[in-house]
Structure 1
Amino acid sequence: MFIIFAPNQILQTYKKFDDFPMETLSKIWYFNQPVKSKQREVGLLIEHRIRYGLSGNCFDLALWLLDEFSKNKIHAYPVANDLFTTDAHVAVVVLDEDGFRYLCDLGDQWIQPILIDSIHPSYSEDAFSNFFPAAKVQVKRMEKRLRVYYHRSNGKFSTQNYDLTPISMEVFLKGAEFSQQHISRKPLFEKRIPYKEETAHWEFYNWKSFLSTSEGLMNEKKRNNTKEWAEVIARIANADINFIDQALEMYKRSY
């Protein structure tokens, strides 16, 4: 059995997002803008990325990725778990020229898409590296659902579930609007970053930050205020420090 990677056309599209973080800083900022709809269209996502250096949450990233696949005439559709709840998570399933499916999850910062079609001759439920930062992953199909197991270096593992039923764009956009209208109390920023010979996962969550690597979890020192956190995040993201500080202040003032 060998690992089957996504075809080059799919990989090339997906890898346009290699430097994109998943974050809720732009979410709270746009929530506080005087506009009715809180889900940004792709054109506005692009404009804000150019201006501020960030990208958005899992709904923003899925919408943007779907648009890129469409431009390249690659068939893809959104999938979700717990849609229309505050725990909602969305990703994208993309099909190759033979109709085999691959999971693309920028919201969870996957390094590359992974084969999920159990009828493919190379489909495997073994644990593989090089698909997710600092963890081996297993994908297990259960009829119309998928469960992913993340195996980490310290022996711990976590899971993520997906309902693989295709979602219409109308339902997806309604779910996205629901999500953007609900703000968590805890700011979140995640990004894939190079570390030695691997791709690691840097995360800022609830005013703490840490780096996940194959060597283990590395907790970082706490910062004293939003400006110090903004300096760290801006350096990691190569983004606008003032915009980040403004978004973090919104979290502080609101909660």
Structure 2
Amino acid sequence: DIVYVSISGFGENGPYAQKPVYDPIVQAFSGLTTVQAGADDRRPRLIRTVLPDKLTAVTAAQAIAAALVGRLRSGKGQHVRLAMLDAVLAFLWASDMGAQTYVGEQVSQRTAASFIDLIYETANGFMTVAVMTNKEWAALTRALECPQWLEDSRFVTPALRDQNIDARLEMTQEVLKTRTTEAWLARLEAAGVPCAPVLTREQVIAHPQIIASGILLESEHPTAGRLRQTRTAARFEAPTVIRHGAPHLGEHNQEILSELGIARETIEALRRRWLIGAEVPR
């Protein structure tokens, strides 16, 4: 009746099955660092957050939920096996491994989408601007005061704009350097162009949108003081409440071991021998 998940780096089979694994190793082996580089012939780059670690945890939670639903239907539990490598490959496949989808076809080396990414420099910082449709492209040319771009044969359709992405983004970058981020945001938002400022971590937590979303919660920890954390991203009908901080080492030993039927004297003996952690007084 038990549902449980075991997590490995590369899975139970294959030449890498017994290898030790950390997040950067999975980033490298899965192709994620090549995706982050922008092309197969560029220097691979790590994503500077532990994405495989976090993604595997989310995948494990989903797997447990799915297995519990299966148990409700079948009455049987199961052992779910999850590899970090599998979690990342499944995550990447639809958006970044399209050339590897068609079996038997010769796949040319993946080339970069552009030598410029969608982070633009402005007169006082950075911002991002993204346009996909003809309507958005026309709005961008108006906001940037470059109507001549609408007549440029390289940019008439979304497909042509994609083919000529280097030229298009370079032209956009040169214009955006001429004014501040705030000035461009006002113009672009008024024109209906998708855009946003690039925020530092300190700017993120102070931004009105973040505050309005309620994603950040503050609470008092008995030893660490006042802490700021995120609530769960999914909002349920019952609001997220932080009832208490993480337990200290051994804080619940007495309670848990007593529930298992272990006598208090035995628990104390285990504690004296440092076989279990000692409770930390508050």
* TM-score where L is the length of structure 2: 0.20
Q: Work out which structure has the larger RCO, using CA pairs closer than 8 Å and 6 or more positions apart in sequence.
A: 1
* TM-score where L is the length of structure 1: 0.22
CA radius of gyration, larger in: 2
